[in-house]
Structure 1
Amino acid sequence: MSDLNGITVHADCRHFRGDIPCRPNKAHGYVCQDCPSYAPAQQRILLIKLGAIGDVIRTTPLLRRLRQEYPGCYITWLTLTPAILPQQEVDEILKFDFASALQLMARRFDIAINLDKEKEACALLLKVEAGRKFGYTLRETDGVPWPHNEQANHKFLTGVFDQLSLQNQKPYVQEIFELCGFDFQGEEYVFDTHDDKGYNWSALPTGRPRIGLNTGCGDRWTTRLWSDEKWVALITQLQQAGYAPVLLGGEAEDARNRRLHADTGAAYLGTFPLPQFINLLHQMDGIVTQVTMAMHISIALRKPTILMNNIFNPYEFDLYGRGQLVQPDKQCVCFYRGSCQLGTSCMEDLPAEKVLAAVQASVPV
């Protein structure tokens, strides 16, 4: 508590901003003295997870453990994609830029965690003041990312040696929990369904389980792509089995989804901004997807997820007991490669029947 010109100011309060009035003052006219909303921050925690969007989403289970271990903590999250974070669960969300980095280096935290090996993220953990630090820092002698604490060694090493990555049998979420000194206990994602937006989905099919088909995989790891012929086969089999397939994707998948819609009659509503796309996925009973942002969203929404995987370590993904992971019948030899060494992606050796069986096991008609 501080006293400025005879006025009590609770600068340690979770609501206090310093540059503008706090929410309790704006909403109710409260002032610090005798404020019923006064909530002093017990610990201040900095979490650095910049991107990509899917990795940011699958870091959110940490919020549950941090709240459990440090009741009353004030969490600041630095990221490249602020809009994807649960606004009600993170006290301060900062977009990574020079201004944010500058002010963070002028502050002190009780705990600072960096889960990215990008050099700018590592440099920030090196320079920020914190009582305890976890994750990756920057070696000042040669400027390379390096584990700050012993618990970060495992995740660090699997990221720099393919041999160790192939041997790894720990899901990503377990790895980042252990990096922070926690044991993973199945904590779920923290995520916003955007149901409060009131989107109109009257064009969606009704009366049958809706199976969302996310037909793209991004432009970095194109070895994951499934051909139109495979999608047509799966859609036809789903329709015959009593499901209502719904085509999903962004601008990159729009042309493909229009073709598939024309060929099969599967529902396709078009492309949407990210919050609306998330809510569209929330309308599904199950989701078939590659390792993409949509996969992370599906898991976060607690949907049965049928994950089509070839080039990544299958142990990396935790579906939380909902859904199944399916892989080609032929073993993939292109671990973490963006182009196929054999000329034709082994994804073409994943039969539609195998994906259908996983859907039927996960989402009974």
Structure 2
Amino acid sequence: MTLHPDCRHFRGDLPCRPNKTHGYVCEGCPVYAPVTQRVLIIKLGAIGDVIRTTPLLRRLRQERPGCAITWLTLTPAILPQAEIEEVLKFDFASALQLQARQFDVVINLDKEKEACALLNTIEAKEKYGYALRPHDGVPWPVNALAEHKFLTGVFDQVSQANTKPYVQEIFELCGFDFRGEEYVFDTHDDKGYDWSALPTTHPRIGLNTGCGDRWTTRLWSDEKWITLIQGLQAAGYTPVLLGGEAEDTRNRVLHAATGAAYLGTFPLPQFINLMNQMDGIVTQVTMGMHISIALRKPTILMNNIFNSHEFDLYGRGQIVQPNKDCVCFYRGSCKLGTSCMEDLPAEKVLAAVQSTLPLHVL
């Protein structure tokens, strides 16, 4: 029997998708697609960082036509499965089989030691990103192109002086110039979720009220959110509260105080699709920000402790910051006791919404 193990669809352990869907076999297969190169991306987490790495997929397809891409991550569900030949969850089994394979290109964008160690042990013609120095176990650039991004994570002074967005940095790390490639993302519109409970009035402004538990200096008080919600309502917008389990209590309080729509919490795919029902998003630097950018939503980003140059909103939003300079760069707690986010007026955020999504053009 004729076999095409070089085909991008061929599995070996299971029937390929064209066989399951159409009954095709290798001999005479109309969708036979021989792989020209095999590429491995190691980007383990967090979810937001995985999302904002997906523009690389577009450029890899362009620069290396016919390549088959494997992506190793801690959060496979966030990746667009239809756009990647193989998505692997990082565990012992995945690491073991990757170490037995050969790739043309391996890109490791994480400085976690386990990711760096994998780059050391996987055979590839080209390697980009970070490896582990064997004699002392320190993460280190495997190529000169990775030095810039490496140094921004080593010295705060270098990070603060950086003027390059994250996506541009990782493109340059791989030897590409960044040309504004968009994220590759699944909106989950095909799932047919029922959003009849959403207000029918537009524009809907999603308010992603959480900030995670690592960088709590980003947190905005309930009082500020209430003032913003009331301002949006008075101006003719329809605010919708968004968040996960960590934001549920806060969102229930805000809903009770303002009447802003709140539908509760949802699994990640459904949450993404809920965000896709919005006309614009107000968010702090968090997973919701990356989802909003990926969905190509007008995004109002509230930022204080991070370098604002790091974020590329693709010309579809604004970054708003407190009225005084933040002195807690990349710190999880405020040195002054009260986060400077309290010096970001709700009126400033409202003005950003109004200039980004003016009612007269919607």
TM-score (normalizing by structure 1) = 0.98
2:85 maps to which residue?
91
Match of 1:123 among 96, 117, 120: 117
1:300 maps to which residue?
294
Q: How many angstroms apart in 2 are the aligned matches of 1:129 and 1:262? A: 57
1:1-365 correspondence to structure 2 within 5 Å: 7-365=1-359
How far the C-alpha of 1:205 sits from its partner, in A, is 1.3
For structure 1, the residue ranges without an aligned partner over 5 or more in a row are: 1-6
SS at match of 1:88: helix
CA RMSD of aligned residues (A): 0.6
How far the C-alpha of 1:364 sits from its partner, in A, is 1.2
How far the C-alpha of 1:101 sits from its partner, in A, is 0.4
Deviating 4+ runs (over 3 angstroms):
none
Q: Number of aligned residue pairs: give it.
A: 359
How far the C-alpha of 1:25 sits from its partner, in A, is 1.9
SS at match of 1:319: coil
How far the C-alpha of 1:132 sits from its partner, in A, is 0.3
For structure 2, the residue ranges without an aligned partner over 5 or more in a row are: none
1:3 maps to which residue?
none
Q: How many angstroms apart in 1 are the aligned matches of 2:17 and 2:275? A: 32
Q: How many angstroms apart in 1 are the aligned matches of 2:193 and 2:22? A: 31
How far the C-alpha of 1:208 sits from its partner, in A, is 2.4
Q: How many angstroms apart in 1 are the aligned matches of 2:274 and 2:297? A: 12
Q: Percent identity?
A: 82
Q: How many angstroms apart in 2 are the aligned matches of 1:168 and 1:216? A: 27
How far the C-alpha of 1:141 sits from its partner, in A, is 1.0
Q: Deviations over 1:278-314 (max 9, x none)?
A: 0000000110000000000000000000000000000
Q: Deviations over 1:298-353 (max 9, x none)?
A: 00000000000000000000000001000000110000000000000000000001
Q: How many angstroms apart in 2 are the aligned matches of 1:25 and 1:256? A: 49
1:4 maps to which residue?
none
**Structure 1 206/29 Cα, relative in aligned 2: closer, same or farther at 3 Å?**
closer
Q: How many angstroms apart in 1 are the aligned matches of 2:227 and 2:256? A: 14
TM-score (normalizing by structure 2) = 0.98
> Bigger CA drift: 21-30 or 35-44?
21-30
SS at match of 1:321: coil
Q: How many angstroms apart in 1 are the aligned matches of 2:322 and 2:17? A: 53
Q: Deviations over 1:68-111 (max 9, x none)?
A: 00111100000000000001110000000000001001000000
Q: How many angstroms apart in 2 are the aligned matches of 1:55 and 1:78? A: 13
